[in-house]
Structure 1
Amino acid sequence: MRQSILLPVVAASLALACAARPALAQTATGTVQVNGSVANRCLFVSGDVVLDLGELALVSGDTATLGRLDPAKLTSRSATLNGWCNGVSANIAVEAFPILNTSFTETAPSGFERRIDYVATATAAPSGGAVSAGDTTLTSGGGVASTTGIFSSDIVVSFADAATPSGGRLIAGSYSGSVVVTLSPTT
């Protein structure tokens, strides 16, 4: 009978000895893959500016030039927008629209004008150096776009070559025109 008691005691002792020993460590890893994207985009921080030129006609000087366009009113001015593009192949483009008399919309009588033409140029400042795009009001449609790439800067719109179609005197009234600067990501 001693044998049948001894076997359970030995088995219990072995079980206690094994339980007191630390288990072998196991390491397991898992991975969380994180993905996302950023769209290729361009935005204006400040994209609308009003440039008030005041009186557009010459009011002093040679009597032969009185009432005609004072080109310095436009060519001495600039406007500043601010924008950015985050893509390496972004473009800037300009479309200039003539300054037209909005009060007098008929055909101007001989010797008078209701239209002012000009050249507009927009210049951005990416880190690689200034990039410009321009357009003239003498041809319809926008000018040729220029590649800016990634940038965040002021965009200075300057004016040149202000003139009326035949050099006549300006018809009284309100005048309005615009320059549209477009920033666009390309694929």
Structure 2
Amino acid sequence: MGRRKIEMKMVKDNSSRQVTFSKRRTGLFKKANELATLCGAEVAIVVFSPGGKPFSFGHPTVDSVSDRFLNQDQEVPNVKARAGSSKNAKVDRLNQQLVDVMKRLQAEKKKAQSLDQKAKKAKGPQNCQTQIDELSLHELEKLKGSLEELRENVKARVCEMEASFSLLLLAQKPIQEADMSVSKKAN
């Protein structure tokens, strides 16, 4: 379907508004995390849902960023000293891990969608020809070899079955002839 431009206006339906809020909030927090991670910025976001419930995101924490914002007149701490602290280093490392995991998750989702589409295509009976048309020369040669090997195996199995059937017929004939000879002697 793809993305389309959404007109910026208040969503009327309450349930749609809540869904829109949740999706936009997640995207907003993700972008704030990326800004903090990539640029080393201190970020704080406080958002209230349509129901009045507060949600917040802060790097390193909402409290530290809000305190710094409210106390701008006071001495600004040294940025390098803050970055060197073990707590901030741990938070930075965890944020980087989060970004990496989110990237892997998105890649896996795309992979799953691709596999789903391929599975849907493969279900139709006309798709066998389509799939053969999409094979490379090497893959076609490999398929040809496999089909020839299958044909030889089928021929060998047919010969084995014919031989077994013939032996069974031969094994049954002498018994019938012996029965006939016994019945002739009895007459």
Higher RCO (C-alpha under 8 Å, 6+ residues apart): 1
Shorter-chain TM-score above 0.5: no
Identify, as 1 or 2, the structure richer in helix: 2
Q: TM-score, normalised by structure 2?
A: 0.20
Identify, as 1 or 2, the structure richer in strand: 1
